[in-house]
Amino acid sequence: MAEKSYFDQRNIDNTRKLREIRRDLPPLCNEFFVGIETRTSVLTRLAYAYDLRIFFYYLFTETSQFASYEAKTFDFDALCKVCTSDIEQFMEYLSYYRFDGKDYVNSDKTKARKLASIKSFFKYFYNKDKIPADPASKVLTPKIHDKPIVRLDTDEVSQLLDEVESGASLPSTRQEAFHEKTKTRDLAIITLFLGTGIRISELVGLDVSDLDFNINGFKVTRKGGNQSILYFSQEVADALIAYLDERSQDTSLDDEPALFLSLQKKRMGVRSVEKLVKKYAKLITPLKHITPHKLRSTYGTELYQETGDIYVVAEVLGHRDINTTKRHYAAISDDIKRSAAQKVTLRDKNKKKYS
């Protein structure tokens, strides 16, 4: 039997989680999840399940109208009783709530995403004629205020790569010793982020066999499961080759498919890579909260400034909707235009006037 890929195994794990959560939801939810299966990813359905779980928890514990219900007794007759004001009050509830012993505080952006799940749920059953009205359609989505892109400046990119390579600013002897064992791998990871704009989920899912140095490219599994080829510069290739040369010295890893490995010789996880990026970034720019996604933004910004082509940026970054790219990078075009305006001189102020 062929070994499962990272993404196949992730889908299996998420499917298990989804089935566990569905057991806590009203039985009618099963029809919803089955109905949307062919047009959504497992990850999307899992997010819906988490959001529906807190929605029904709210109805059963925070409202008098539905206090007598529990998941197994909540049917379509009960669903028909949910009105727009119930959902609006749920949105207010999301500002702060306590669930399963933990406190949760949600931003407007998170509220908007959860509302999108609720809207999809009610819209599905309304379109199926299971409910006479769609109360969620009348609920206004919270206004999301765009935040400026946090990214590394050109000098900071150089400083970050130098720091990863040298470890000169690491605060302890223990960290320096650890750095000696991981610096080649860490430099390959950071260089790949900055040189391709790859997502962290895509990076940890890479296998050695996905690389092709004949074309300086690699196969990547995008969100939704689609595969694409990304290309990289010789600088990125050099960092990857150095890491693979070092890795090849351990013959026990010959049959290990994962590209980036922990010291335990296992595929690195998302959390490990996030901590790695944070460790180095805070040494060179402590006031910026740099994450793998911010390294992706750094690459996207540089690519747009070099090409001026938003469609190229969208294709390389794997944005399915060009508006996503525009929303994040359109402001940069104003910077370019302002800079260009300063390059046009109407009068040379240093030129002597005629007397």
294-321 residue pLDDT tens: 998 888 888 888 887 888 888 888 887 7
Q: Same structural domain for residues 22 and 101?
A: yes
Q: Is the dihedral of CA 173, 176, 181, 182 positive or negative?
A: positive
Range of the domain at 313: 154-337
* Domain total of the chain: 2
Q: Same structural domain for residues 176 and 276?
A: yes
Q: Same structural domain for residues 117 and 251?
A: no
Residue 30 lies in a domain: yes
Q: Tens digits of per-residue pLDDT, 225-256?
A: 778 899 999 999 999 999 999 999 998 998 89
| pLDDT, position 309 | 82
Alpha-carbon span 192 to 172, nearest angstrom = 27
Share of the chain above pLDDT 90, in %: 69
Q: Which two tokens stand for residue 347?
A: 């009068």
Residue 338 pLDDT greater than 70, yes or no: no
- Which residue is listed with tokens 């402590």? 286
Residue 354 lies in a domain: no
3-state secondary structure of 266: coil
Summarize the confidence of residues 256-267 as an average pLDDT: 94
What is the pTM for the complete model shown? Answer: 0.78
Q: Same structural domain for residues 180 and 245?
A: yes
Q: Tens digits of per-residue pLDDT, 61-114?
A: 999 999 999 999 999 999 999 999 999 999 999 999 999 999 999 999 999 999
Q: Same structural domain for residues 128 and 177?
A: no
Weakest mean pLDDT among 138-142, 265-269, 288-292, 336-340: 336-340
Q: Same structural domain for residues 185 and 321?
A: yes
Long-range contacts of 126-134 (CB under 8 A, 24+ apart): 128/35, 130/28, 130/76, 130/79, 131/76, 131/79, 131/80, 132/80
Q: Which two tokens stand for residue 343?
A: 């390059």
**Rounded to the nearest 10 degrees, what angle do helices 322-341 and 310-317 cross at?**
140
Tell how strand 102-105 and strand 211-212 pair up. Answer: unpaired
Summarize the confidence of residues 1-6 as an average pLDDT: 69
Q: Is the dihedral of CA 137, 142, 145, 151 positive or negative?
A: negative
Per the CB < 8 A criterion, the answer to whether 189 and 181 are in contact is: no
Identify the burial level of 254 via C-beta atoms within 10 angstroms of its C-beta, where 0-12 means exposed, 13-18 middle and 19 or more buried. exposed
The enclosing domain of 46 has a CATH number of 1.10.150.130
**Using the 8-state DSSP alphabet, how is residue 103 labeled?**
E
Residue 209 lies in a domain: yes
Q: Minimal CA–CA distance to 292: which of 191, 209, 216?
A: 191
